[in-house]
Amino acid sequence: MCFYTDLMFTQSEENYLKAIFHLEQEGEAGVATSNLSEQLQAKAASVTEMIKKLADKNLVDYQKYYGVRLTENGRKQALNIVRKHRLWELFLAEHLGFKWDEVHEVAEQLEHIKSEKLIDSIDKLLGYPKNDPHGDPIPDKNGNLEKKNKSLLSKCKPGDSGVIIGVKDTSSSFLQYLDKQHIAIGTKFTIQHKEPFDGLLDIDINTKQLKMSHKMAANLYVETNESSS
Amino acid sequence: MCFYTDLMFTQSEENYLKAIFHLEQEGEAGVATSNLSEQLQAKAASVTEMIKKLADKNLVDYQKYYGVRLTENGRKQALNIVRKHRLWELFLAEHLGFKWDEVHEVAEQLEHIKSEKLIDSIDKLLGYPKNDPHGDPIPDKNGNLEKKNKSLLSKCKPGDSGVIIGVKDTSSSFLQYLDKQHIAIGTKFTIQHKEPFDGLLDIDINTKQLKMSHKMAANLYVETNESSS
DNA sequence: TTAAATTATTAGGTTTGCCTAAATTTTAAT
DNA sequence: ATTAAAATTTAGGCAAACCTAATAATTTAA
Ligand SMILES: [Mn+2]
Ligand SMILES: [Mn+2]
Ligand SMILES: [Mn+2]
Ligand SMILES: [Mn+2]
């Protein structure tokens, strides 16, 4: 029996594996061609074609018309790319002074560099970190991904307090908006009031009172010590 | 007038530009298709094809059957790739503990990453270095390449002393051989004797006497204070 | 100065990863 | 249950960057 565990993949194949990995987490069902098409900025026909190639290589299980799921090996490969992406993002932030809205684009390129020694050295240099600049967990060398139970700030109730541990939307515009309000990973907060009509929050954050929109709160992951209700 | 100075190139185009740059330095004549073919591990027919594409983009001057030379713009682009290659090599050596025989392969990949901010940050992190781990000069941001007059150790005469400033052969095997003899960039030497028959050197190096073959000496660049003869 | 050898170019294919347009299947709406 | 809409797949092409084999130009050697 041979699992072809350590072949090399093209950049495009790697991008597909990563995209499937991310979309898979949205549910149990197969990842739809159209979703991949949108994520990868490619036409559906191109996606179908590549999916078939990945299926031939036993990286995905594919049922025509019903989408695709990663195999165990496919997941392992995807996690390796995610690991590289997040380590590079953190390296750029910690060692080269990149802001958290600047790291993603470059990491999209760096994640495809093929050198185990390189990424292990970066890992070591960073002190075997657990999270990237956006709070996302970094898989370890063996593909173990810590699964912290994070909830959305928008789900919190008045009286709840906690810490920002991640962002859902990682677009530059959102990240820059957070910068402007001095909200970052690790920032502590307490919810004072929540408007029933539109979910607008009165929130203590950075020793200031802030009105936070529902949309913003729905893009911030938090860890809470829930208030006893 | 438009020089198309800042377009993006494919990895393959970049590799051709770099190869032409290196081969150009061997003389004034056009770089031959066959030399590029060997350097790039591609068949001559493929080289001709790519050369035509580069000529269309005004990156090279091409005369059928007489080889190719970089245009001013082509040279600028090539220097930028060389700059990235050498900065990455030094980064790998200085910050990630790579040995000088390990850096080249990874730098071949990293040199194609497209981010001016990234390479400028690496440059800054390294303190705007002048030379890579093999002693080769690093072009600055504007494409200025310091032209030190280096000579070969094999050309030295008895009584000459100086410093190793670079290697001609950068193969792993040669670099590892140098390691074994504790010869590195910066190592000082004095020539004691040179055998007329085969050019074998008796040389003081690392406070030891060493017999050095002509072949080895012919792959070491040195800076000398020539002995008054 | 010619003929042979070498080098380079052209012609015609292949593979990868895209695309559009047409056909098929699934899903949603009467 | 039918039909319309939406999603997916198939068919047929294209460009990049390779390749081999055939042809042409240049160089070298007789
Ligand atoms: Mn990212
Ligand atoms: Mn991230
Ligand atoms: Mn190198
Ligand atoms: Mn070098």
pLDDT tens for residues B128-149?
Answer: 999 999 999 999 999 999 988 8
Residue A44, nucleotide of least CA–C1' distance: D8
Instruction: Determine which helix (DSSP H) or strand (DSSP E) holds B224, and give its type and residue range.
Output: strand B220-225
Rg from Cα positions in chain B? 20
Over residues A4-29, the pLDDT tens digits come to 445 799 999 999 999 999 999 988 99
Could you say which residues from 42 to 101 on chain B have a Cβ atom under 8 Å away from some Cβ of chain A?
Answer: 92, 95-98
* Class in CATH terms, A151-225: mainly beta
Q: What percent of chain B has pLDDT over 70?
A: 96
Rounded distance in angstroms from the CA atom of residue A188 to the C1' atom of nucleotide D9: 50
Give the confidence band of A143 by pLDDT, cuts at 50, 70, 90: very high
CATH 2.30.30.90 in chain A, residue ranges: 151-225
Residue B45, nucleotide of least CA–C1' distance: C9
Strand D atom within 7 Å of A126 CB: no
CATH 1.10.10.10 in chain A, residue ranges: 11-70
> How far is residue B4's CA from residue A59's CA, in Å, rounded to a whole number?
42
Rounded distance in angstroms from the CA atom of residue A48 to the C1' atom of nucleotide D12: 16
Over residues B20-59, the pLDDT tens digits come to 999 999 889 999 999 999 999 999 999 999 999 999 999 9
Contacts of A121 in chain B (CB under 8 A): 96-98
Beta strands in chain B (DSSP E): 60-62, 68-70, 151-152, 161-167, 188-194, 201-205, 208-212, 220-225
Q: Quote the ligand 4 centre to B46 CA distance (angstroms).
A: 27
Domain A11-70 has CATH 1.20.1740.10: no
Over residues B53-83, the pLDDT tens digits come to 999 999 999 999 999 999 999 999 999 999 9
Question: If DSSP codes are grouped into helix, strand and coil, which group holds residue A189?
Answer: strand
Global pTM value:
0.93
